[in-house]
Structure 1
Amino acid sequence: MLFTGAFGAIVLLAVMQLAIDLARLPAMLIGRGGFVVPAFVLYAMGSAAAVLAAIGVSQAVRVPPVHDIEIAIPGLSPAYDGYTMLQLTDLHISRLFPARWTRAVVDSSNALRPDLIVITGDFIDGSIAARRADVEPLRDLRAMDGVWAIPGNHEYFFGYEGWMRHFAAMGMRVLANNHAILSHGEGRLVLAGVTDLSAPETGNAPPDIDAALRGSPAGVPVILLDHQPKMAPKAAAKGVAVQLSGHTHGGMILGLDRLLALANGGYVSGRYAVGGMTLYVNNGTALWPGFALRLGRPSELTRITLRRCEPRGGKPC
């Protein structure tokens, strides 16, 4: 934790220094040498960087608060109006996010009594041998319709097949280019999931939306789990109603999120309308421990309430 805070302070101080250098650049280019930065400004920068780093680390490692959103779905069965899904993503269970943190997240999640829990990848940073005890509390996640999961890119770094078997043994149902049909009375909902874009780098199957949707019933809304958001336009073109993603950590720092959006198809945090589909990019339950700072992009336990709607007068829901 101390190392993380110190590293964060260095990064923030470097950003502040870069801003000053950019401000001085015009004068330097015309040969006037720019302006001299007073010593007290440099000291103030160092203090501010340390304070911001402390705040950023505390925001990064906390158990997230609940973030409530509603998503309207055309053609949703009345049986699913008010249905609640809890999305967890990017837990990055590790030495920074160990068993006690995982236990607190599980307890907070179960207290919400969701109808369904989905985990959209990047569970871990480490091998099964190293992280077995730290992930163990996930076994106690409870929801009426179970716990469903997809891999993120970090699962492929640490033994994809072993981790998928381990999660399945813990009672999670893994969707890897396939789907399940959920039923309540006369109502049905398709829950689909794909593998991660990084999968081919380790010789595993790439994400395949066509395979994930093959055989799904016509006219039944599809909720797609895809760790990375950048393929959202393709999912929308396939008739998916909702895509739930993570991966970006919300950009972590306000301002930096704009840069991360460029690498993720323009999607980095929150709700987007993509060709008639709703994309929700979760800021993350945690984040990669190698850069554990959050400023203005908070972590979240995301409770999603589904709402039935019908387009009227040619207008979308």
Structure 2
Amino acid sequence: MPDLATPAATRAPAPFFTRRTPGGPPGLALFLNAGDPPLPVLKDLVLMLDEEGVDCLELAVPFPDSVTDGPVIRRSARRALDRGGADLDDVLAFIADVRPRLAHLRIALLADWSHSLKHRDLADATRDIAAAGADGLLIHALPPRLRAAHLETAAAAGLPVVTTCYTKSPPATQAQAAAHASAYLYLVAHYGRSGTAPGAGHAALAQTVTDLRAHTDSPIAVGFGVSTRQDVQAVGASGADAAIIGSAAVAAVERAQDAGLDVTEAFRDFVRSVLPAPTA
């Protein structure tokens, strides 16, 4: 590993999303696969997200054949993998390079257990992720038997963790996920693959958000099926602190690349179309 940025444990902690005031706009997180677009283009795109006031980038180390993702994100991961140069070490070097230039944007790293972490020492990998400058970590498909070790190693490294639960998860599961969230709690709005939305709309999640509040002081972010400004506003109406846009963001990158456009500028237009309007 290269010599990376200052370890997270020595950096002043900063929230991913400010707890929203009643009636205020929610924060915004966007998901992208590292390597789609290629990392040099992604660097310009990330700096643009910071300029535009996006709160969080969920940056995934690409992995194949995710059973929880729909076709848009699966195609994106395959493009990144086929290009090469976006394994965990590459992505950490990318974060170490870009993170010092960000004034507002936070980066939550998403890494799949089997593809990126299984063959590494968990404590060493967590320290490397923190040292790179990642602001938080979400491990995809972490075996339940390793959950306690993950929380312990992340705390030791000073690295906040993103936890997840579904709207239909048992109350005890929701409470545990909320209690362990130190970066933010990702509330999955609909059981299924990414890109699918809850039938009753995101605003109907209000009771679930209220129930989760009893178990955490960390922000609550809602994802799955969020693709427009209206969806973001509906997430805000649920009382959640932030909306997470995944498939729609990845699709915007895909369209720009297929059309031969400047990906960063095309994505800027997408960002401006979904950012919640400020309240008076």
TM score, norm. by length of structure 1: 0.38
TM score, norm. by length of structure 2: 0.42
Query: Over alpha carbons, which structure has the higher Rg?
Result: 1
Q: Which has the higher strand share?
A: 1
Q: Which has the higher helix share?
A: 2
